[in-house]
Amino acid sequence: MSSEVRAPRMRDEPSIAHLDADAFFASVEQAQRPSLRGRPVLVGGTGPRGVVAAASYEARSAGVRSAMSMATARRLCPQATVVVPRFDAYSAFSARIMAALREVTDAVEPLSIDEAFADLRALTPGPDGWPGVARALRERAVDLAGVPVSVGMGRSKLVAKLASAAAKPAGVVVVDPAEEDAFLLPMRVRSLWGVGPVSAERLERIGVRTVADLRAQPLDTLTMVLGEAAGTGLFRVARGWDDRPVAETRERKSAGAEHTFESDLHGRAQVAAQVPAVAEQALARLERHGGAARTVTVKVRFAGFSTVSRSVTLPSPTADAAALVEAAGRALDLVDLTEPVRLLGVSFHGLSEHAQLMLDLPAGALGAGRADAAPDGPAADAPWTAPTTPDGEDTAEVRPVARRRRGRLRHDDAVPGLDVTHPEHGRGWVVRARDDGRVAIRFETAATGPGRQVVVDPEVDHVELVGALGPDGTEVAPPVEDADPSA
């Protein structure tokens, strides 16, 4: 009986917004590389077993999707330009997008690097009503970040998120409570978070294809077919019942742990033996705050209470525990341990919800990934939270995109998409490394307009690997690199 589930108290205005950047990684690449605008762009691993992290709309029109193997994507769209992810650039653009939301409310709940909810209940709409608020919010985000975004608004997080999906690309959809049924009921159930392939197949067997079909099902039928949690959750979703608040959060910048020993440790072997245990505590906290990190810092306090910290920065964010613990060991190697040690700490910085988007797929997985597959699960708990990493991604093999992102360019470092500078040609980006030992580079920025491609010899031409530019055209501050033990 439907009376077994009570309707929550819902707000009477569409004052929850969901802002979502469109094809975010690829859009940043097109914004910063003028020659890529209007052309298909794939962001991801460039090797034979690479994964697509993002595809521009031009590439999507050819059937390419995120989390697809790069080999499959290249077959579908052979004219696409492939570049590796640049998280320093994406983080800078993300900060501008989130700033647009925080200009109007403190109640902002980021879901990932490129999307967030915002509670705008405290605002008083102008003559254009809530649609005017949504348009102004979208325009401000585009003005600050320079990449396309879509905004959806509704009286719940459920409807706001579905509305932003309906607004893509670069649009606005506001669903008034009075129009909610007209918006929800025609939708395919596969559009709902929590309805994955298995759930969709089970619902198909009982004739449920749309949200209207779903609403027509009694609660006991849904719980029998899907289980108690999932069935109850979808019973609520079908009626637009979602009273979850926007959880105001600020980006956490680090996660770590430290331990003071009962007696001082003497010598490198004793201290190094404690790194895994302290790192394990830090990893547990990392999992609750982003899941991935790029910089690992070790803190050592000596018996005389002097303290030293050393850091190691990885080529890209990773959630791989072994890689992070190994990096902590490397950071400890930079510390002079001639004095007794009373405290050891391990912390992770440069936190991200996107871990190793450029990694290779495991053997045999080529062509198996899918971008639109939402996992089945208990819809009652968190059915509408977007995944923060591509479906089908496997981090069993950790292979960074490049070994170095700073210093003089070498042929082995010349991965497509990396930022470089040349004393004569200025800033540009690596197009490809040629078999003859030379490197093709296109020299251009957002400010210069489309640039020309030049082939250089890294052994002769002095080309430097540099950091990415932010939306304002200034170089993003580099992360803390491997520390100099003499510093």
The catalytic residues are 115
Helix (H) or strand (E) holding 67: none
- Rounded to an integer, what distance in angstroms lies between the CA atom of residue 188 and that of residue 195? 10
Query: Following CA atoms 265, 268, 273, 276 in sequence, which dihedral angle do they give, to the nearest 10 degrees?
Result: 110
Query: Vertex 115, ends 74 and 179: CA angle to 5°?
Result: 110
- Rounded to an integer, what distance in angstroms lies between the CA atom of residue 10 and that of residue 50? 45
Amino acid at 151: V
Total residue length of the chain: 487
Tokens of 439: 């490197």
396 DSSP 8-state letter: S
Q: Which residue has the tokens 């899918």?
A: 370
* 3-state secondary structure at position 304: coil
Beta-carbon neighbour count of residue 269 at 10 Å?
9
Closest listed residue to residue 44, CA positions, set 59, 34, 31: 59
- Rounded to an integer, what distance in angstroms lies between the CA atom of residue 439 and that of residue 434? 6
- With 0-12 / 13-18 / 19 or more C-beta atoms within 10 angstroms meaning exposed / middle / buried, residue 326 is middle
- With 0-12 / 13-18 / 19 or more C-beta atoms within 10 angstroms meaning exposed / middle / buried, residue 35 is middle
Amino acid at 49: R
Task: With both helix axes pointing from N to C terminus, report the angle between 129-145 and 87-102 in degrees, rounded to the nearest 10.
Answer: 150
